[in-house]
Each structure stands twice: as C-alpha cells, then as structure tokens.
Amino acid sequence: MGKILQKGRLINLPTVLIAPVHYDISVNRDGKIIKQIRENHVMRFMFVQEMAILMQSAGLKLIHSCPFLEPDGQLSTDTWNATFVAQKEP
C-alpha cells in the first residue's frame, strides 16, 4: 500500500492579502519515496468584513460564517477554508 505525505508551508504577506503556499509532496511505497512533487500556489485570503461588503453590494446579507464543514465552529487565523452563508436582502 502506498502513502502520500504532504507538507505545506505558508508565507504570509498581509499587506497585499495574498499567501504564497509551498507544498512538498512525497509518495511513499514500502517505506521508499517513489515520487516527489513540489507545488506553489498563490492564494488570496478574504476577511469576514470584506465578504460582508461584497455580499451587500450584490444585494445579500451575511448571516453566518464558519470553518468549512464545521457549521458550529469559529473562524480563526488558523482557518484555511471558510463557509459564508448569505440571504437575499428584502
């Protein structure tokens, strides 16, 4: 059975609201690395207040935010994926 090890490294650039993320991925089989992959992604992060403003400009109202697939959770600086729920303004 094979195994994939993924390590991500975040470089935070808060003044430009982007976060370059560097991944080192190792595919292991029988205790030996059979493939190594490096990936770089530039991600844009959004603040809750930004989402609320964007929603308002589209005629929506932010009614809930939480970590992805954690409807009872709280967003934090450690949250990588978020869910935003909006309702159409009357």
Instruction: State residue 83's pLDDT score.
Output: 95
For the chain, the residue count is 90
State whether the Cα torsion 10-39-2-69 is positive or negative.
positive
CA distances from 2 to 15, 28, 36 (A): 41, 6, 13
Per-residue pLDDT of the chain (90 residues; tens, 9 = 90+): 556 555 655 555 556 677 788 888 888 888 888 899 888 888 887 889 999 999 999 999 999 999 999 999 999 988 888 999 999 988
Instruction: State residue 47's pLDDT score.
Output: 87
- Gap between the Cα atoms of 27 and 5, Å rounded: 6
pTM of the model: 0.61
Quick check: 63 and 85 in contact, CB under 8 A? yes
